[in-house]
Structure 1
């Protein structure tokens, strides 16, 4: 069976002969102890490049790769901390870390794919199934982790990622080893690999992470989703294409393509039984519903998919999101229209509070509050200029100017205003897409045409905090809400709110939306 995987060309007469003896490799890796993760990554990348560019027997290559793999995984885990919580577009340190991790997964994937190709080219293949299963699983794991780096840096994965994943799975089917269990050391690879320890589960995991539409998730939630999915991926099923009475929770995977799966209902043509497979997620969605119900009843699911010390509200929001993306396919309600204009943007409650202040007194109070919270700093919020690329009834896509601040995160609260507008509108960052030279496109959902800056006494200690009051919008059946820091909402909690020299006591009644950066809450005025 011919494989056309994305692998480097091999040199017949390499200048440097790669080291393949596990003992010698282990000695060189021991010398790296205590070094900076970027230096370790540079060494590993250099050694793997040498290894993956010359002809070596499959057994020798696998011995070398298996020796490098544990320290490679621990190194990428250390480096991921630099970009997996970073604002967008990425700063230089985060870019270096992401590029290093991407290169390591690419080279590790090359190595195991070369092993598989060599095993398939052997004239006598007796007893090679176990070796092929190991090589296939570890190649697929490396390719899938490469895709996750792309997701967490908000860039589109290269097309060869999907071509390789589809071919590797198809190869496993032909060999009949897609469900062979491969033992992994949890201390080395983490929880994701140990629970997706078959080729089919690893493949389904990669497909479902793409279907989770990671551009709309925070970097942290991508990793949480990946770890949670590992416990439930058995519930998703792959089957041959067959007529369906109901296409809900069904997705088509084209094994001959370089594309991710697509919803069955969005297919323009009938699936091809010769090249297409069916991914069904109904049982998976039911299992997620059960976990969501447990969390909503203040109970922790017993399967271990959610850690005992997890933030319950955070997981409720994440599971609700995953149900929508792995269950009923969402259709766009409003069409986008191309636009060409400039818009000013500020990020976060303090900055929006400052620019939304309706009088000099309020603006000065906000400025003083910001400076106090920054431990004596003198930074006054500044608006950044962005370019509008398209617009719809409920939002817009905007592109960052090179001079704009690097402070965008998924779920961030934005203040927006064109030159012709008097008030600052409020919006949320729903998705992001990064490119070269700090290019950043974001999707913004508009949630209010204006905001009233106010100060709220939330705790009994009398400390005031900045909040934003959003007006009722009758046409959208949207009640008045308050935006405050995360952790503000408690049922029936009372706040004392002051704005425009008036003071009101309000009671919080319902949480409307929550992100890592704010809470949006309905309230009723008591006095």
Structure 2
């Protein structure tokens, strides 16, 4: 006879007979929490944390404890959501105050979930159906705790995965997996079952989250509300790709990386039906040009690889010493690769000019929705009224350069350590420039993954090109204003590798097949964008071809552009390196 493995739920020890902050009735608790809405999130969370901890420590019947937790739960979710929104706009290495606020938020929802787990344990002993609703709440409240950790590229809190697995195992044994519960604090299209809540978190944990942007993780988490039902857990693990060990404290692992026992506690995460859905959404997103939310082709492509059987990139890494300098984002790399010459001066061949700015009502700005074009500088210029001019010799850009420690080298890129407070825009998928200190020329790279450890941020960067030529780009054939020009980089052809030239532009600004004008220090080219090779939040990378034909002189921009007519070879201009100035 097989003896069932015991369930290990961590719950608070009951050592109090009454609450210190109110009389303990659900109505009194709700009234006590009401003023917290008006406080700063970090302050309110610090006030609320001891109170929620007391709720788990106070002796009470499971029915009363559940009502007490329900009274405090809305304000817990409100405050933690508000804090997360502000935290995610800051650099990834948080200061001491920010770290304390985040730790309190994590503890707050963990304590709330612990209270619901206590209800589960007590209600099951008396055979009450309340247990399944409390179990559902516990899973639901641990979800944002996991999401916040992943968005900051930190490990999941200790024992979080263990408790998620144990809650699932308990629901499986008690036949509660298909119990769906409405949740008033979440904006759900329909109630989720305990099974789908758990699958949602499994898929989140094995989506290679350290390779996704923070907003991409949030979009995926929200979309998994509907996607999770397309996945399933199976007991047969033969030929499995993703394995879940219910006795472990870890997310699902690829079968090739799993080291452990095989038995009744091992499950196979089956994702093929979900992958079929995502492939269809990916094809539709490419046709429709959608680049936002969960239907972003970049995000969908990543998830198809992460949840499918695609091979991981694998390069042998060699330890390395020394430093590299880094700048973050397309505008920064465009500025520094040109030797510190702003875009406006590049358009005039490097000369200082007075630039007229067109009226905001008439200006067409194809970069207004781009993910990374230097903040709102271009858009703000286009919205000003009247004949404002800007002296191009005045500094408009502020693109800092940081020094990073080199950890390892591989044929595909570098492992780097950022020990100072990083640029606020740095996330997985961001375009960066790299160079050795003192070298005037910049290599082009993309951040493949981030890992936040105490006191430092570790990065894996993939090298795209050893150098790039700065350029300016705008659509061909439009009546455009000054702010229609955006930053671009041309990655020269590498004949030895049969690699064609590529053009990097702001994301969301152009599309395959579109004709553009490229300006390189006053020398203009017409080009057609061909295949979109890579897309990220901050940039898009295209193959392109040069076009001949008549000159297209821009109007109403104050720029006179010399267009090639065949006497100057296209490759000759792009192969010249930017001279440091």
Q: Which of 201, 207, 214 is matched with 2:196 structurally? A: 201
> In the alignment, what sits opposite 1:350?
331
Q: Which of 36, 58, 63 is matched with 1:59 structurally? A: 63
Question: Retained in 2: the 8 A contact 1:20–1:61?
Answer: no
C-alpha distance in structure 2 between counterparts of 1:510 and 1:290, whole Å: 20
Pairwise CA distance, 1:231: 0.6
> In the alignment, what sits opposite 1:303?
none
- Alignment: residue pair count: 503
Question: Retained in 2: the 8 A contact 1:98–1:153?
Answer: no
Question: Retained in 1: the 8 A contact 2:326–2:401?
Answer: yes
C-alpha distance in structure 2 between counterparts of 1:385 and 1:144, whole Å: 36
What pairs up with 1:413-424 in 2 under 5 angstroms? 413-419=431-437, 421=439, 423-424=441-442
TM-score scaled by structure 2? 0.79
> In the alignment, what sits opposite 1:320?
301
Pairwise CA distance, 1:238: 1.0
TM-score scaled by structure 1? 0.86
Pairwise CA distance, 1:266: 3.4
Question: Retained in 1: the 8 A contact 2:339–2:440?
Answer: no
Flag the 1:479–1:142 CA change in 2: closer, same or farther, 3 A: same
3-state SS of 2:57 partner: coil
Select between 350-359 and 339-348 the one with higher mean Cα deviation.
Answer: 350-359
> In the alignment, what sits opposite 2:251?
260
> In the alignment, what sits opposite 2:280?
290
Q: Deviations over 1:341-383 (max 9, x none)?
A: 2100011222212221269798964998989759776654332
Question: Retained in 1: the 8 A contact 2:243–2:266?
Answer: yes
> In the alignment, what sits opposite 2:81?
77
Structure with the greater alpha carbon radius of gyration: 2
Q: Deviations over 1:245-297 (max 9, x none)?
A: xx4xx32111111121112243456x612221121111111122222233334
Establish whether residue 212 from structure 1 lines up as the match of residue 233 from structure 2: no
> In the alignment, what sits opposite 1:279?
269
RMSD of aligned Cα (Å): 3.0
Pairwise CA distance, 1:428: 0.6
Question: Retained in 1: the 8 A contact 2:501–2:543?
Answer: yes
Unpaired runs of 5+ residues, structure 1, are 300-308
Establish whether residue 412 from structure 1 lines up as the match of residue 412 from structure 2: no
Select between 509-518 and 6-15 the one with higher mean Cα deviation.
Answer: 6-15
Pairwise CA distance, 1:491: 3.5
C-alpha distance in structure 1 between counterparts of 2:415 and 2:495, whole Å: 26
Pairwise CA distance, 1:66: 0.8
Q: Deviations over 1:453-486 (max 9, x none)?
A: 1223435315232211111223444321111212
Larger RCO (CA within 8 A; separation ≥ 6): 2
Q: Which of 415, 440, 456 is matched with 2:457 structurally? A: 440
Unpaired runs of 5+ residues, structure 2, are 356-373, 382-393, 549-581
Establish whether residue 176 from structure 1 lines up as the match of residue 181 from structure 2: no
Flag the 1:75–1:420 CA change in 2: closer, same or farther, 3 A: closer
C-alpha distance in structure 2 between counterparts of 1:82 and 1:96, whole Å: 14
Flag the 1:484–1:321 CA change in 2: closer, same or farther, 3 A: same
Question: Retained in 2: the 8 A contact 1:411–1:428?
Answer: yes
Question: Retained in 2: the 8 A contact 1:497–1:504?
Answer: yes
Q: Deviations over 1:379-429 (max 9, x none)?
A: 543321000111211111101132654541222111101137553111011
C-alpha distance in structure 2 between counterparts of 1:364 and 1:91, whole Å: 38
Question: Retained in 2: the 8 A contact 1:82–1:93?
Answer: no
